[in-house]
Amino acid sequence: MEGKDLFLMVEAISNEKNISKESVFESLEEALAVATKKQNNIDANVQIDRKTGKFSTFRQWMVIADGENFVDDDGTEFDAELHIHAKDANGVAVDDFVCKPIPTEEFGRIAAQIVKQVIIQKVREIEREVIVEDYTQRVGEVIMATVKRVDRGNVYVDMGGVDGMIPKFDLIPNESIRKNDRLRAYIKEVKSSPRGAQIFLSRTAPEMMIELFEMEVPEISEGVIEIMGASRDPGLRAKLAVKAKDKRLDPIGSCIGMRGARVQAVSNELNGERVDIILWDEDPVQFVINAMAPAEVSSIVIDEDKNSMDIAVEDDQLALAIGRGGQNIKLASRLTHWKLNVMSVSESDNKQAQENQKISDKLAEQLGVDSEVAAVLVDEGFGNIDDVADADATSLETIEEFDASMVEEMQARASDAQLVQAFGDADSFEVLTGVEGVDEDLARALIKADIVTVDNLAELSIDELLDIRNLDKELASTVIMTARENEGWFK
């Protein structure tokens, strides 16, 4: 093949497959080297001059250490046709090659077929790498695709010469999709496989909804309005949290658009999914109140250790707060990253009364006073021995029926109880941190929840441990199983 014809062929392959000319040259060199090796049973290297198109072929021997019982990567033992010892290599380093120019082969039909197969294989590999690299950089984009076929619930699409797949669990439930339909999808993941690049798309990811709003709302793409989070029940309902960097701007109104045009455009793309636009707030309690809309919240009790909030609503708001199938509370919880428990005002009052009773009983036991005195202390905001011991005596004396001598006695008992508790907590802390997976923060949370021994820890369920502290579920399981093993449960 003349140089001119070679360059025309390389350029044609490069343009057709969208790969570099250098990659095509390297593939051709490798293909010719493979054919030369098979035809002559030697190790060969072929080089093509990038300016003239001239072929140069070299026979090569791999340099190995003297006296080594050599076995190649493919299991081939020392062969004088393929290998050479370092002492005979004229200073060429071990693992390098001694090369000798040889005439370039005129290949027969079989060798030419080998060249063709190797070139096709190498070009496919390079093409796959180019696609993987290109679409890996595009992960997170929403693209338009055309449906090629639907098979076993999975949708296979054409993204402009490149194939992708939307797995059935990434499709909006009950959405009707047919061949040749055009739809938008979110690039979720890109993988390289022997069969080619695998591009996985999604229509259920919250990120897709965020991208759609960025397309529809100029204020978001310009950075004037910021999307702070999103949660979806695909095809049914979603919540989007937004905030404006300019206080004069209404972020909710901007996202809804004139007569709801902007939010409706997004909803239509998501098969009619209803989207609630929520105002983000840096105060987590206010953010939760906003996220619970349209339900009106009466009160909230927050537990930072458990990362949870108990939300109380009036009876006529309870169904609205929970939503159909728990939809509203579930989306609000995902959006705010808090575990939300919704209940009626009466249920909240009962729960609070029970909590106060537990606190009161514990305080009564520690101070050696009757339950009525302990209940009065709790009602006045003195819920533990630290509150009592560290309080200003005059603040306690202002409580009805509490005189100076009574306050002095209670504070002395509280100080003694603090000392006893400190010794007990120190012992428990040492014991609990001895369990693999229990760090210092978890140990403190366990002690605060009256889990003071390994046996106490072993008796917990995973959900009970997660209620005490927000952990990874797998870690919680490991901690409990380790505690049970330490306590001899499996002997």
Q: What is the SS3 string spanning the chain?
A: CCHHHHHHHHHHHHHHHCCCHHHHHHHHHHHHHHHHHHHHCCCEEEEECCCCCCEEEEEEEEEECCCCCCECCCCCECCCCCEEEHHHCCCCCCCCEEEEEECCCCCCHHHHHHHHHHHHHHHHHHHHHHHHHHHHHCCCCEEEEEEEEEECCEEEEECCCCEEEECHHHCCCCCCCCCCCEEEEEEEEEEEECCEEEEEEECCCHHHHHHHHHHHCHHHHCCCEEEEEEEEECCCEEEEEEEECCCCCCHHHHHHCHHHHHHHHHHHHCCCCEEEEEECCCCHHHHHHHHCCCCCCCEEEEECCCCEEEEEECHHHHHHHHCHHHHHHHHHHHHHCCEEEEEEHHHHHHHHHHHHHHHHHHHHHHHCCCHHHHHHHHHCCCCCHHHHHHCCHHHHHCCCCCCHHHHHHHHHHHHHHHHHHHHHHHHHHHHHHCCCCCCHHHHHHHHHCCCCCHHHHHCCCHHHHHHHCCCCHHHHHHHHHHHHHHCCCCC
238 vs 27, more confident? 238
pLDDT surpassing 70 at residue 74: no
The residues, any chain, with a CB within 8 Å of residue 345's CB and separated by 6 or more, are 298, 299, 312, 313, 314, 315
Q: What is the pLDDT of residue 347?
A: 81
User: Averaged over 435-460, what is the pLDDT?
Assistant: 83
Q: What is the pLDDT of residue 405?
A: 78
User: Averaged over 167-175, what is the pLDDT?
Assistant: 90
- Tell the CATH topology of 355-486: DNA polymerase; domain 1 (1.10.150)
pLDDT surpassing 90 at residue 223: no
Are residues 313 and 298 in contact, defined by beta-carbon separation less than 8 angstroms?
A: yes
In terms of CATH, what superfamily is 138-202?
Nucleic acid-binding proteins (2.40.50.140)
Q: What is the pLDDT of residue 467?
A: 81
pLDDT (tens digit, 9 = 90+) per residue, 100-126?
888 776 655 555 566 566 666 766 766
Nearest to 234 by CA among 280, 265, 275, 283: 275
Q: Where residue 381 falls among pLDDT bands split at 50, 70, 90? A: confident
User: Residue 406 is encoded by which pair of tokens?
Assistant: 């009574």
Domain 281-354 classified CATH 3.30.70.330? no
pLDDT (tens digit, 9 = 90+) per residue, 394-425?
777 677 777 777 777 777 777 776 666 666 67
71 vs 211, more confident? 211
Are residues 343 and 310 in contact, defined by beta-carbon separation less than 8 angstroms?
A: yes
207 vs 391, more confident? 207
pTM of the model: 0.62
Task: Break the chain into its structural domains and give their ranges.
Answer: 3-125, 138-202, 281-354, 355-486
In terms of CATH, what superfamily is 3-125?
NusA, N-terminal domain (3.30.1480.10)
